[in-house]
């Protein structure tokens, strides 16, 4: 398994970081998780053929995680895709995503490819799919009134967990138990904890990683004001988590 970040910023991008999207490769699966920014351009910068995408997972429908979806589908139509491209999401978001694509008439045009939307009613440890290469498990997290999914991806003997946007919560700790790599949001520094709302600080991400017993922690979904000084965020997490910690870089391949 390998993975790369197409975007690592919170809701507002900066000159250095775009909004959230990740790609996971477990041959033959190529899975896009969340869809901020311009996914086709980023995939090409990673020397990936966008037509290789086998499925998409949208964790929730805040715009910074989903607004790139219509452009992605249009680009794939123009590139000649004909194979279905399943989208997995919470059941509450099926109609929102269908409406987003329908707004641009991307589902019923003559040259459209099938985009089946698979909604799930999540419970802790709910299996979303199992192929020969990849097992994908989901749990609800704690993102206020917005229904959201945290994900556990298993393949090639490795386990990666992605918190998506969330407060620290026991469901993510349990989902990440014993994982090789935890990708946890760290929207704020601890000094700005009162602004965190339904997000996490870097220290809180470290506490989740420690409680789950993961080997490695990548901080993501970082608010734009911190993009020029990331050292404080990693230092915060390291104070409470003894494993390897860094802020995720965009367009770099990681192996768990």
Placement of tokens 């999401």 in the chain: 89
- The residues annotated with a catalytic role in the active site are 64
Strand order in the sheet with 135-140: 126-130, 135-140, 149-155, 158-162, 181-185, 216-220, 244-247
- Alpha carbon distance 245, 221 (integer Å): 15
Find out whether 196 and 232 touch, Cβ atoms under 8 Å.
no
Find out whether 254 and 221 touch, Cβ atoms under 8 Å.
no
3-state helix, strand, coil in the chain (%, to 5): 30, 30, 45
């Amino acid at each position: 398994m390998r993975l790369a970040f197409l975007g690592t910023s919170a809701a507002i991008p900066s000159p250095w970081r775009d909004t959230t999207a990740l790609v996971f490769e477990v041959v033959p699966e190529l899975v896009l998780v969340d869809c901020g920014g311009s996914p086709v351009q980023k995939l090409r910068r990673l020397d990936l053929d966008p037509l290789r995408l086998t499925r998409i997972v949208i964790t929730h429908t805040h715009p910074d995680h989903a607004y790139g979806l219509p452009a992605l589908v249009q680009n794939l139509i123009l590139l000649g895709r004909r194979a279905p491209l399943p989208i997995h999401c919470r059941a509450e978001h099926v109609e929102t995503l269908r409406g987003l694509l329908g707004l641009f008439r991307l589902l019923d045009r003559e040259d459209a490819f099938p985009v089946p939307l698979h909604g799930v009613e999540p419970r802790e440890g709910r299996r979303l799919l199992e192929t020969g290469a990849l097992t994908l498990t989901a749990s609800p997290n704690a993102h206020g009134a917005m229904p959201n999914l945290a994900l556990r991806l298993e393949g090639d003997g490795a386990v990666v967990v992605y918190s998506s946007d969330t407060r620290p919560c026991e469901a993510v700790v349990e989902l990440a138990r014993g994982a090789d790599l935890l990708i946890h949001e760290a929207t704020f520094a601890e000094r700005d904890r009162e602004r965190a709302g339904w997000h996490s600080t870097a220290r809180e991400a470290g506490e989740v990683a420690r409680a789950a017993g993961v080997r490695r922690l990548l901080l993501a979904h970082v608010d734009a004001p911190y993009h020029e000084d990331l050292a404080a965020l990693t230092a915060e997490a390291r104070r409470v988590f003894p494993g390897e910690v860094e802020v995720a870089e965009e367009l770099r391949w990681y192996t768990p």
